[in-house]
Amino acid sequence: MAGTNARTGGRVRSEEARDAVLTAAAELVEEAGYGELTMEGVAARAGVAKSTLYRWWKTRPALVMDAYGPALARRMPEPDTGGVATDLVAFVEQLYRVVEHPFRVNALRGLMAEAQLDPSFAVRFEEWAQTRRAVVAGLLRRGVERGELAPDLDLEYAVDLVFGPFWYRLLVGHAPLDPADAEPHVRRLLGGLAATA
Amino acid sequence: MAGTNARTGGRVRSEEARDAVLTAAAELVEEAGYGELTMEGVAARAGVAKSTLYRWWKTRPALVMDAYGPALARRMPEPDTGGVATDLVAFVEQLYRVVEHPFRVNALRGLMAEAQLDPSFAVRFEEWAQTRRAVVAGLLRRGVERGELAPDLDLEYAVDLVFGPFWYRLLVGHAPLDPADAEPHVRRLLGGLAATA
Amino acid sequence: MAGTNARTGGRVRSEEARDAVLTAAAELVEEAGYGELTMEGVAARAGVAKSTLYRWWKTRPALVMDAYGPALARRMPEPDTGGVATDLVAFVEQLYRVVEHPFRVNALRGLMAEAQLDPSFAVRFEEWAQTRRAVVAGLLRRGVERGELAPDLDLEYAVDLVFGPFWYRLLVGHAPLDPADAEPHVRRLLGGLAATA
Amino acid sequence: MAGTNARTGGRVRSEEARDAVLTAAAELVEEAGYGELTMEGVAARAGVAKSTLYRWWKTRPALVMDAYGPALARRMPEPDTGGVATDLVAFVEQLYRVVEHPFRVNALRGLMAEAQLDPSFAVRFEEWAQTRRAVVAGLLRRGVERGELAPDLDLEYAVDLVFGPFWYRLLVGHAPLDPADAEPHVRRLLGGLAATA
DNA sequence: TCGTAAGCGAGACGGTACGTCGCGTCTTGTG
DNA sequence: CACAAGACGCGACGTACCGTCTCGCTTACGA
């Protein structure tokens, strides 16, 4: 009665195969980079038929999303320390800490690239990005409610000010991302660029 | 004396072929998007041999860079109105105006994607990005000198605050870019997020 | 006591499924030709599980054999009119009449093809062919006994002279098979090619 | 001016590759049989790219036709000894001699099978068969002109009487083909089945 | 003015990966 | 047991582009 999906008959999906695929995909991204990852290669390393791959993951980015998405999302706590400054610093520090896992950086960059090249994937990618944005948006909203932030704040743009520079550095590589910069960056963000004197 | 490189004969490069290629590349990006652009396709449309293509452009992004680079770089004046606020608004407005040329957006996104997938191109792309960053950096530096901006400003990060959100919106597509937003965005940037009361 | 084979329970075979499969197979041969028939396709059209198919028919030709074998064998009376000429004409006419059922032609050609590609099926196919040869052989043997045919007749080759041209036309398609040709063909066969004058 | 095909530019076709492919195809038919031959396998053995294979041979039978056609055609002399009996015996003997090359038998059977399964190939196959039929038809026509054969001879059917039993035995395998049988077979063909007494 | 040294279109070449299809086997229910 | 469902490993399919490589032809310079 309360059955979620009404399967009747049919061999059950092999968790073994699923795990092997996700592991293989993760390993290949780590070793050779997202650009070098091929469906063929994943299937071979996982000891799995290509048809099985395509049965469950229609495209390459969908696969990597599944292999990396959880790992990437896990590291996304919603800090709630009572002050927007400390909340933001905590979040941004965690954000910048991705550089401590170069292969995750690789995956992130690859997924972002794919989203540019494949419109159908772009949709899924944006959805994922929205889940991350929601965290920061919530955090900022609390700051507004507490009167810590400008009441006329454009939340959308404010969130962009957090993620934008992060992605920009990640993608262009002109400057390093350093967790130690989280605090000064947030301070600047809150205080603005203009001279206070 | 005049010729620096010591050519001693040989057919001269065909400007006709060069133009046909760049036109074809631009058209293909416009019509089908950067992701669909292939060297094979460009050669076919341009009525040019593949060997000619590869003689002058080693890779796909190098080609698109040539086809769009000028257009992308041209519209990047260094405003100098005497005030950092007006300078910034002028620049950012111009920046956001790229959305009025959807195919340029397409090209920008494609080049960014390629930079993620092809490390050797990443270098060229970063160089190009630096030329754009230099404009903003100069503009901000003048602001500091004039005492309009905080004297301890981290120029690098400040530039990221201008370009970061721009690219982030361009790439993720969660929110539109609107030249009309240039002024409020800059105002927020200068004033910071914190409540002024 | 009544049952010869000692089945001790278990669901009984579904005649419904059997019929659905044979019908589907026949239809597919008719519609798309033997070459396009697949086990997968038959199962799908019959609304039957692949496992059921394989339980009862090991191979594609075995299936088609079951679907068409009866129809092909049925119309093969052993005429016995008292004269070899009339017997032969009756048989050959009946043989040529297969062209009135194009899908049976299709099945015959497909089975012949399969016999060339699958050695294990070739055995079954030859057995089937032998049952048909036996009819003609018997008919001819009676002719020899009655003194109508050459006493030193090579029966094997004589039978080949009946079936050979039939199959050859069926398979190569260079000339039509026409039941009306049965009589002249038999006359020529009996009289030989050499001038009688 | 008299140029047969007006090629202008383009790398010339590699005879090396062509030969490697035809050799590989021939070897594979010999070793494993026509049914086991795959485009993939031929390409691998020939050390040639699959794309090269498909560039020149659209289908598997087209390839085997090219690999075996010449060999099969070479052995097809047009005997002209002055008498239809000796002409026929010479031809038929040569025909039956194919059994001395089991792999050619394999190829012939495979091609015949393919012609049944692939309508588009059937056309090419019939054309090839016609070239062989023409030889026998010519031979018989001379016999008619010389008064050796019945003047009202149905040439088409007469040719079928030569090839039909040959193919029938080749395909069904119920009886061996023996070059030594050529003479008696032809004798029977000319004299007919009916008792001469 | 003529030879040499490019550039050019054409297009074949060896490759790699693509995404699909059908195979025959298997593992689940349920009847 | 039979059966529907359907996932699985497998192998070949035919296609698309890749980047490289001959070809024969066409320019332009400079000796």
pLDDT digits (tens, 9 = 90+) for B117-147: 888 889 889 999 999 999 999 999 999 999 9
Q: Pick from C126, C167, C175: which is nearest to D173 by CB?
A: C126
Q: Does A5 have pLDDT greater than 60?
A: no
C-alpha dihedral (C28, C32, C35, C36), degrees to nearest 10 = -70
Q: What is the mean pLDDT of residues B5-25?
A: 86
Cβ partners under 8 Å of residue B188, min gap 6:
A154, A157, A158, A161, A192
Backbone φ and ψ of C8, nearest 5°: -125, 60
Say if the Cβ atoms of B193 and A150 lie within 8 Å.
yes
Most trustworthy range by pLDDT among A167-176, B101-110, C9-18: A167-176
Q: What pLDDT score does A32 carry?
A: 87
pLDDT tier, A7 (very low <50, low <70, confident <90, very high otherwise): low
Say if the Cβ atoms of B195 and A148 lie within 8 Å.
yes
B164 touches strand E (CB under 7 A): no
Q: How much is the CA Rg of chain C, to the nearest whole Å?
A: 20
Q: What pLDDT score does A197 carry?
A: 53
Say if the Cβ atoms of B114 and A113 lie within 8 Å.
yes
- Residue matched to tokens 């030859």: C126
| pLDDT tens-digit series, residues A95-126 | 999 999 988 898 899 999 999 988 888 988 99
End-to-end CA distance of chain C: 72
| A118 and A61 Cβ atoms separated by less than 8 Å | yes
Chains that touch C (3 or more CB pairs under 8 A): D
Q: How much is the CA Rg of chain A, to the nearest whole Å?
A: 20
Q: What pLDDT score does B7 carry?
A: 61
Bridge partners, residue D44, by sequence: none
Which of C76, C80, C39, C79 minimizes the C-alpha distance to C59?
Answer: C39
Contacts 24+ apart (CB under 8 A), D151-158: D151/C195, D153/C193, D154/C184, D154/C188, D156/C175, D157/C165, D157/C181, D157/C184, D157/C185, D157/C188, D158/C188, D158/C193
Distance, CA of D175 to CA of D168 (rounded, Å): 9
CA distance C6 to chain D (A): 38
All residues of chain D having their beta carbon less than 8 Å from the beta carbon of residue C194 are: 148-150, 190-192
| A63 and A39 Cβ atoms separated by less than 8 Å | yes
* Token duo for residue C67: 């679907």
pLDDT tier, B30 (very low <50, low <70, confident <90, very high otherwise): confident
Of A64-78, A161-175, C172-186, D133-147, the least confident: A64-78
CATH architecture for segment(s) A68-191:
Orthogonal Bundle (1.10)
Mark residues 39-78 of chain C whose C-beta is closer than 7 A to nucleic acid strand F: 47-52, 55-56
Q: Would the pTM of this model clear 0.75, i.e. be above it?
A: yes
All residues of chain D having their beta carbon less than 8 Å from the beta carbon of residue C163 are: 164, 168
Q: What pLDDT score does D35 carry?
A: 85
| B136 and A165 Cβ atoms separated by less than 8 Å | no
CA of C173, C1' of E21: distance in angstroms? 30
Q: Could you tell me the residue ranges of all domains in chain B? A: 15-57, 68-191
Amino acid at A142: R
- Other CB atoms within a 10 A radius of the CB of residue B110 amount to 23
| C46 and C20 Cβ atoms separated by less than 8 Å | yes
Interface membership of A77 toward B (CB under 8 Å): no
CA distances for A29 relative to A42, A48, A99, A110, angstroms: 10, 18, 15, 9
Q: What is the mean pLDDT of residues B8-14?
A: 84
pLDDT tier, D3 (very low <50, low <70, confident <90, very high otherwise): very low
All residues of chain A having their beta carbon less than 8 Å from the beta carbon of residue B122 are: 173
Say if the Cβ atoms of A175 and B169 lie within 8 Å.
no
B50 touches strand E (CB under 7 A): yes
Helix-strand-coil split of chain C, %, nearest 5? 70, 0, 25
Q: What pLDDT score does A104 carry?
A: 86
The CATH fold assigned to B15-57 is Arc Repressor Mutant, subunit A (1.10.10)
* Token duo for residue C102: 């194009």
Backbone φ and ψ of A17, nearest 5°: -65, -45
Q: Nearest nucleotide (C1') to the CA of residue A59?
A: E19
Q: What pLDDT score does D2 carry?
A: 37
Backbone φ and ψ of D194, nearest 5°: -70, 150
All residues of chain B having their beta carbon less than 8 Å from the beta carbon of residue A156 are: 175
- The string of DSSP codes covering B45-77 is HHT--HHHHHHH-SSHHHHHHHHHHHHHHHT--
Say if the Cβ atoms of D112 and C115 lie within 8 Å.
no
More confident residue, D4 or B188: B188
Q: Does B28 have pLDDT greater than 90?
A: yes
Cβ partners under 8 Å of residue C121, min gap 6:
C59, C61, C62, C114, C115
Q: Nearest nucleotide (C1') to the CA of residue A49?
A: F9
B 91-130 residues with CB < 8 A to A: 109-110, 112-118, 122, 125-126, 129-130
Percent of chain B topping pLDDT 90: 74
Say if the Cβ atoms of D194 and C196 lie within 8 Å.
no
Cβ partners under 8 Å of residue C195, min gap 6:
D147, D148, D149, D150, D151
Distance, CA of D15 to CA of D31 (rounded, Å): 24
Which of C112, A93, B77 minimizes the C-alpha distance to D117?
Answer: C112
Q: What is the mean pLDDT of residues A74-86?
A: 86
Interface membership of D168 toward C (CB under 8 Å): yes
- Residue matched to tokens 């990060």: B157
The three-state secondary structure class of A194 is strand
B15 touches strand F (CB under 7 A): no
| pLDDT tens-digit series, residues D20-78 | 999 999 999 888 888 899 999 999 999 999 999 999 999 999 999 999 877 776 767 88
Mean pLDDT over all residues of chain D? 91
Q: What is the mean pLDDT of residues B172-178?
A: 97
D9 touches strand E (CB under 7 A): yes
Task: With a cut of 50, list the residues of chain C below it in pLDDT.
Answer: 1-4, 6
CA distance D37 to chain C (A): 11
Interface membership of A169 toward B (CB under 8 Å): yes
